[in-house]
Structure 1
Amino acid sequence: MGRNILIYCGIDWAERTHDVALVDDGGQLLAKRHITDDAAGYKILLGLLAEHGDTEENPIPVAIETSRGLLVAVLRTGKRKVFAINPMAAARYRDRHSVSRKKSDPGDAFVLANILRTDMHAHRPLPQDSDLARAVTVLARAQQDATWNRQQIANQLRSLLREYYPAALVAFEPWKNGLCRSEALEILKAAPTPSRAASLTRTQVQAALKRAGRQRGIATQADRLREVFRADWAHQPPAVEDALGQQMLALVVQLEAACTAADNLAKAVEEAFPQHPDAEIILSFPGLGVQLGARVLAEIGDDHTRFADARGLKAYAGSSPITRASGKKSSITRRWVKNDRLNHAGYLWAFSAITASPGAKAHCRRRGDDHGDWHAAGQRNLFNRMLGQLYHCLQHRELFVEQTAFPIELAAAA
């Protein structure tokens, strides 16, 4: 069947089955099929596409409401363009085909196919990232999620300790990472209540610190902890205190698992990210280490044709401002629709770059003096600038050079 991409495919996916619809350039429904979410169903889908002219050199584009999963992985093989349509956008398109607002899975597949037929130019296909970049994406996002989960559980544990065991918070306050340290968790397991903590002997405290892997200053820390635990503290009734201790032990188990998961994923990122060809360029930027650099690569990918220019990348990250104009009124605000993970990484990147780069520090200071930016606005502007520099360096395969990146700021600082 000779054609110039005149057939479009829409897939309404679900957990166990999917609905497929094919339409031609005139909007005529050519075929529809209900397939299962397994290898047999994928073969039926590929066979259906082949029947309607799908070839390796000229594949039929596909619209689907997700960018993940085995079905998407099968469709992304070769040169096929796969469009991940936002479900909210698909719901708006549905009103164009049915004023009664009825919904059905076959009808949604038909709507998705027509989105490509009418507005394919307005939607971005999934980037053609390498397998290594996609692996880094999985690991970096998982490590970020594990870090957030660890902090959330630590906050829950801290809130619980404030209710009945403030001595533990005072005892662990001098330690970096506080409740997430293995020494703190071992002490809490040995003494889940303040009453039991006050009765700990020096030998028991030292044994708990050794189990946690501490090798130096054990005797000094043990004496300090016993002094804190034996101070005069208010207590809950004994029965309530014991119950709260059981609740605290359950949170300790969760926090231990979260800490282990975050550490293991961090090691996996440290092994995978440096193998990528773009890692050297990314790590040359001030403020970007292995973990944060991997998060940046995970969100922008290594398909260097994904963004037409640096402005597209900046808008995707939410670092560039947006202008809203209506009549005589005009306002410039920050973007709300953005890649939240990349935007969060950009905040940390800019925060670290201020310390690591004299030019970045001078740039933020100049933004505050000349433009009246608050600290957060100055950091966002710095992230916006450095993101454009990263785009340039990745496109031209160049490393970051401080003198080239901040010539005016460095001259003013000098």
Structure 2
Amino acid sequence: MLFVGDDWAEDHHDVEVMDAAGRRLARARLPEGVEGAARLHAMIGAQLGDADRVDVDDAGQVKIGIETDRGPWVQALIAAGYTVYAVNPLQAARYRERLAVSGAKSDAADAHMLADMVRTDSHQLRPVAGDSPEAEAVKVVTRMHKTLIWERTRAGQRLRHALREYFPAALVAFADLDAVDTLTLLAQAPDPASAARLSLTQISAALQQARRRDITAKATAIQAVLRAEYLGQPAVVTAAYAASVRALVALLVTLNEQINTLQGQVEAHFGRHPDAEIILSQPGLGVILGARVLAEFGDDHDRYATAKARKNYAATSPITRASGKKRTVTARYVHNDRLIDALMTQAFTSLRASPGARGYYDQQRARGASYRAALRQLANRLVGILHGCLKTGTVYNETTAWSHHLNHAPA
């Protein structure tokens, strides 16, 4: 067996090859790209007795530790047949402290540490999942879609903060700052004086573009608010804020357009995936939320040996800290933000979609669990149900999923 540590950077890789006894066999700094990958194969081949190439059988004797699970370099290592372990940077930092307490650190030393880590602790590490290209495509578009939604929220908060400083009437008139009608009117009138001059026709046209109801009454109410008296800023300061608001409005308009475009891509890629039917059958999961769950879990059915393993990865299961007579059970705070966000949203939505989910949630609340804790326990249960459906290739069944809990529910 050969063990390889790969400390990666944007343009190079520090690599060390180690044998089963922990002896350093080779060390090099390789460039990113085809040339670097070829030199890595040559280094490994030389240690395996074949400097020209590494065949499939020999590649199975090579374990590589690297602190990432994506990118062309990682895909090239997997395609070559090596066993690749994506080491969490936090795990690597803790392991580094085991080897040296001085705090010294270098790229070459990190490569040595990663090689030694896969040599001694590979049974504790998780190999890079063998997800299909279809699942990878779903992950790419869903992550960018969610990222743009987060960016829109941040831009909306900046817009709200700016308006509060010089144009409070806008916050009273417009409830949703990233809505189409709001952005249209703010682009036309980004300051109190120009907003007060907006006619009912202009306001009604913006409301009609956003497909609002009861346009006449809403336009009249908005005009009255914009023409009321409020405290303001000096003219030069107001002009500066107005310029800032125009920029934020343009940014929000672009974000709305791209979010809608990516939503179509998410729906298209997810609809072609073979697991889409099973995922969509789960309570509380629609196309967008289901795509996010698939993207973050992946579609490698061998990745999670048990439902507990999937729950632990999802961070919906609790962790126990016990020492002597002290024992505490807490939520997992180290988690995949995108996955836990999707699962908690599913749990909340399932309260109306599934009588079984509602009954299970009510049981947790009756036992004294807080709203957040009960919702997390429901999400944990739903992850287990999803795992069973994916393992057996069956769609969700309300009676089967909740029969045990409903039969033992308290009166």
Is the partner of 1:153 in helix, strand or coil? Answer: helix
TM-score for the superposition, normalised by structure 1: 0.91
For residue 27 of structure 1, what is the amino acid of its counterpart?
G
In the alignment, structure 1 residue 34 sits paired with structure 2 residue 29 = yes
Task: Give 1:225's aligned residue.
Answer: 222
State whether structure 2 residue 299 is matched by structure 1 residue 302.
Answer: yes
Separation of aligned partners in 2, 1:242 and 1:220: 30
Partner of 2:286: 289
Q: Which residue of 2 aligns with 1:10?
A: 5
Gap change, CA 1:97 and 1:277, over 3 Å in 2: same
- Say whether residues 1:49 and 2:44 are aligned partners: yes
Closer, same or farther: CA 201–113 of 1 in aligned 2, 3 Å: same
Give the 3 Å change call, closer, same or farther, for CA 91–374 of structure 1 in structure 2.
closer
Q: How many residue pairs were aligned? A: 403
| SS of residue paired to 2:57 | coil
| 1:94-173 correspondence to structure 2 within 5 Å | 94-98=96-100, 100-173=102-175
SS of equivalent to 1:305: coil
How far off its partner does 1:220 sit? 5.1
* Paired AA for residue 132 in structure 1: E
The amino acid of 2:45's aligned partner reads: A
Report the AA paired with residue 83 of structure 1: Y
Match of 1:247 in 2: 244
2:328 to 324, 331, 337: 331
The structural deviation recorded for 1:215 is 8.5
Taking the aligned partners of 1:136 and 1:288, their CA distance within structure 2 comes to 16
Query: How much has 1:216 moved relative to structure 2?
Result: 7.1
Q: Name the SS of the counterpart of 2:79 in structure 1.
A: coil
Amino acid at match of 2:318: P
- Residues 245-266 of structure 1: CA deviation (Å, up to 9, x unaligned): 1111121122222222322221
* SS of the residue 2:329 aligns to: strand
Contact 1:190 1:208 in 2 (8 A): no
| Structure 1 pair 46–220 and aligned structure 2 pair: CA distance change class (3 A) | farther
For residues 194-273 of structure 1, the aligned pairs below 5 Å read 194-206=192-204, 208=206, 212=209, 214=211, 221-273=218-270
TM-score (norm 2): 0.92
Moved more, 162-171 or 12-21: 162-171
Hey, what's the Cα distance between the residues in 2 that align with 1:351 and 1:216? Answer: 28
Deviation at 1:12, TM superposition (A): 1.0
> CA, structure 1 residues 201+289, in 2 after alignment: closer, same or farther (shift >3 Å)?
same
Query: Which one-letter code corresponds to 1:290 in the other structure?
Result: V
Deviates more, 1:212-221 or 1:181-190: 212-221
Check 1:167–1:99 CA distance in 2 against 1; reply closer, same or farther (3 A cut).
closer
Measured in 1, the distance between the counterparts of 2:348 and 2:94 equals 39
User: 2:346 matched to 1:344?
Assistant: no
Residues 207, 337 of structure 1: alpha-carbon distance in 2 compared, 3 angstrom cutoff: closer
Q: Secondary structure at the match of 1:348?
A: helix
Contact kept, 8 Å, 1:187 with 1:209, in 2: the verdict is no
Q: Deviations over 1:46-67 (max 9, x none)?
A: 2222333343234222111122
Q: What amino acid is the match of 2:25? A: L
CA distance in 2, matches of 1:155, 1:183: 17
Deviation at 1:385, TM superposition (A): 0.7
| Whole-Å separation in 2 of the counterparts to 1:409 and 1:85 | 38
Shift of 1:221: 4.5
Q: Aligned to 2:135, what secondary structure does the other structure show?
A: helix
The answer to whether the Cα contact below 8 Å between 2:363 and 2:410 also exists between their aligned partners in 1 is no
* Aligned-residue RMSD, C-alpha: 2.1
Change (3 A) 1:413 1:95: closer
Tell whether the 8 Å contact from 2:22 to 2:116 is kept in structure 1 after alignment: yes
Q: Which runs of 5+ in 2 are unaligned?
A: 49-53
1:3 paired residue number? none
CA deviation digits over 1:273-306, x for unaligned, max 9? Answer: 1111111101001100111111111111111111
Contact 2:17 2:115 (8 Å CA) reproduced: yes
Of 91-100 and 371-380, deviating more is 91-100
Q: Name the residue aligned to 2:397.
A: 401
Higher alpha-carbon deviation: 114-123 or 90-99: 90-99
Partner-residue secondary structure (3-state), 2:65: strand
SS in 2 for 1:319: coil
- Percent pairwise identity: 43
Partner in structure 1 of residue 379 of structure 2: 383
